[in-house]
Amino acid sequence: MGGRLTFTGGIHPYDGKDLSKDKPIKDILPKSDMVYPLSQHIGAPAKPIVKKGDHVLTGQMIAEAGGFVSAPVYATVSGTVKAIEKRRVVTGDMVESIVIENDGAYDEVDYGEPSELSDLTKEEIIAKIRKAGVVGMGGAGFPTHVKLSVKEPDSIDRVIVNCAECEPFLTSDYRRMMEEPEKLVEGLQCILALFDNAKGVLAVEDNKPDCIAKLKSLTEGQERISVKALKTKYPQGAERQLIYAVTGRAINSSMLPADAHCVVNNVDTVCAIRAAVLENKPLMHRIVTVTGDAISDPRNFRVRIGTNYHELIEEAGGFSTEPAKIVSGGPMMGFALFGLDVPTTKTASALLCMTKDEVAAFEPSACINCGRCAEVCPGRLIPSRMADLAARGDMETFVKLDGLECCECGCCSYVCPARRQLTQDIKTMRKLALASRKK
């Protein structure tokens, strides 16, 4: 069964990728204190296993998983534990975090001998991924070992690597594919080792023809791996839209990719899986795109998790002009920051600094029922009506008309000519409805 390489709905915003796409990834070393929030993933927070005053090494576990759906956290520098306290994170929340004073020596633990994939059992592979603290690095932060522990591994027929990178301005996956495509393919092989009946698919949007060519030539002759060029459209990288584009199978929000016989992981995650399985290395780095028209030298960095955002801006040459808005992540789904004093986490894909705040530029006005929101909604909802219900507080009808199927991609707010905050209203009601459902 094949997909149509696209989905219904979606938008084509200005992609802004030219700002940063042609500059190589730069490794940076942090200068100041490192902050490691204990909740950088979906699930139970990690539990600290160090205390104030302890000396830690780079690559040493500092907090263990707080349950099955959880992930450990590792130190990414050597130094001294300065505090375990609440710190601000990108969402604006205060989260219990371990603060480490960086001694600048970068003394590293011994990761042991590299492993050969063929020597490892499936259980060993999953155990290594679990121990390494790998989580979905595309933004959701769902612990990867949970994702890979599907009930019936034999039912999985596709392992999809999400190389769509559909968010405007983001180029970290692009750079990764251009610079280290072999690592990506090795990572995919690690996942394929878990699912005997699965074929691997590298799903790339067709605005990256150079990546597609590179990955195709690299995987030539590999029977289990293929490269698929998807039509460029936001949100092609949304999990359900991606599965649909690749396989033609549509799942709703309460279903899992496994229900469509798929496992989906994004580029950074697959590379982290490779490092965990083959090199026994925990998740310590990620690629972050620092970009936007307020940044002097927009580019990608290989960042040690825990690094303060101020340092990323400095490394990118500082601000060329005063930014009107700073976003952690892409412009469609990222979090606006009210301050830069937050750490890079496992899920921080980008730091976007814009000179214009397009949201504040317009006052929302009355809905004219134009239907653009319904046209672009990948969930095939009618966002304007959902937002009306949300504004009225009518949770019952909201749920009945499937408001919970919203994936919060932001397309409706993007196109709304009345500049209504549709996504925001729907998101708020979804949170309330999901919370009341749990009770």
Partner 1 sequence: MNEKSRVSSNPHIRAGATTQTIMLAVILALLPTTAVGIYNFGKHALFLVIVCVLSAVIAELCFCLIVKKKITVSDGSAALTGLLLGLNLPPRAPLWMGALGAVFAIVVVKMLFGGLGQNFMNPALGGRCFLMLSFTRIMTDFTTDTYSGATPLALVKAGEKTDIYKMVMGTTAGTIGETSMIAIVAGACLLLLLGVIDLRIPGTYIATLVVFLLLFSGRGADYDYIAGNLAGGGLMLGAFFMATDYVTRPITKKGQYLYGILLGILTGIFRVFGQSSEGVSYAIVLGNLCVPLIEKITWPKPFGKGGERA
Residues 62-101 that bind partner 1 (CB under 8 A): 92
* Lookup: tokens for 282: 């925990």
Look up residue 143 and give its DSSP letter. B
Q: Give the HSE-up count for residue 179: Cα atoms under 13 Å, Cβ half-sphere.
A: 19
Q: Which is nearer to partner 1, 275 or 381 (CB)?
A: 381
- The nearest distance, CB 399 to partner 1, in angstroms, is 12
For position 1 contacting partner 1 by CB under 8 A, the verdict is no
State the first-to-last Cα distance of the chain, in angstroms, to the nearest integer: 40
> Near partner 1 by CB under 8 A, which window of 56-64, 103-111, 272-280, 358-366?
358-366
> Near partner 1 by CB under 8 A, which window of 97-105, 106-114, 186-194, 408-416?
408-416
Instruction: Report 219-238 residues binding partner 1 (CB under 8 A).
Output: none
Sequence-ordered list of residues with C-beta below 8 angstroms from that of 51, at least 6 positions apart, any chain: 81, 84
For position 298 contacting partner 1 by CB under 8 A, the verdict is no
- The nearest distance, CB 2 to partner 1, in angstroms, is 18
Number of other CB atoms surrounding residue 392 within 10 Å: 11
For position 321 contacting partner 1 by CB under 8 A, the verdict is no
In the list 380, 392, 431, 437, the residue contacting partner 1 (rule: CB under 8 A) is 380
Instruction: Report 232-271 residues binding partner 1 (CB under 8 A).
Output: 240, 244, 250-256, 258-259
For position 418 contacting partner 1 by CB under 8 A, the verdict is yes
The closest alpha carbon to 270, from 315, 342, 333, 215, belongs to 215
Q: Which is nearer to partner 1, 225 or 332 (CB)?
A: 332
Distance between CA atoms of 165 and 171, rounded to whole angstroms? Answer: 7
- The nearest distance, CB 424 to partner 1, in angstroms, is 4
> Near partner 1 by CB under 8 A, which window of 50-58, 63-71, 95-103, 326-334?
326-334
Distance between CA atoms of 69 and 221, rounded to whole angstroms? Answer: 37
- The nearest distance, CB 173 to partner 1, in angstroms, is 19
Measured in whole angstroms, the distance separating CA 342 from the mean position of its chain's CA atoms is: 17
**Which amino acid is located at 128 in the chain?**
K
In the list 44, 117, 340, 399, the residue contacting partner 1 (rule: CB under 8 A) is 340
| Residue located via tokens 């340092």 | 311
The closest alpha carbon to 288, from 5, 27, 7, 94, belongs to 27
326 near 306, Cβ under 8 Å?
Answer: no
**β-bridge mates for residue 287, sequence order:** 302
Distance between CA atoms of 71 and 64, rounded to whole angstroms? Answer: 7
- The nearest distance, CB 160 to partner 1, in angstroms, is 16
- The nearest distance, CB 214 to partner 1, in angstroms, is 29
Instruction: Report 131-190 residues binding partner 1 (CB under 8 A).
Output: 151-152, 155, 168
- The nearest distance, CB 292 to partner 1, in angstroms, is 10
- Strand, coil or helix: 264: strand
* Lookup: tokens for 385: 């009506």
Q: Which is nearer to partner 1, 361 or 435 (CB)?
A: 361
> Near partner 1 by CB under 8 A, which window of 23-31, 68-76, 371-379, 391-399?
371-379
For position 44 contacting partner 1 by CB under 8 A, the verdict is no
For position 331 contacting partner 1 by CB under 8 A, the verdict is yes
For position 413 contacting partner 1 by CB under 8 A, the verdict is yes
58 near 82, Cβ under 8 Å?
Answer: no
Which CB contacts under 8 angstroms, 24+ apart, belong to 219-222?
219/185, 222/185
| Residue located via tokens 């026994």 | 280
For position 374 contacting partner 1 by CB under 8 A, the verdict is yes
- The nearest distance, CB 405 to partner 1, in angstroms, is 4
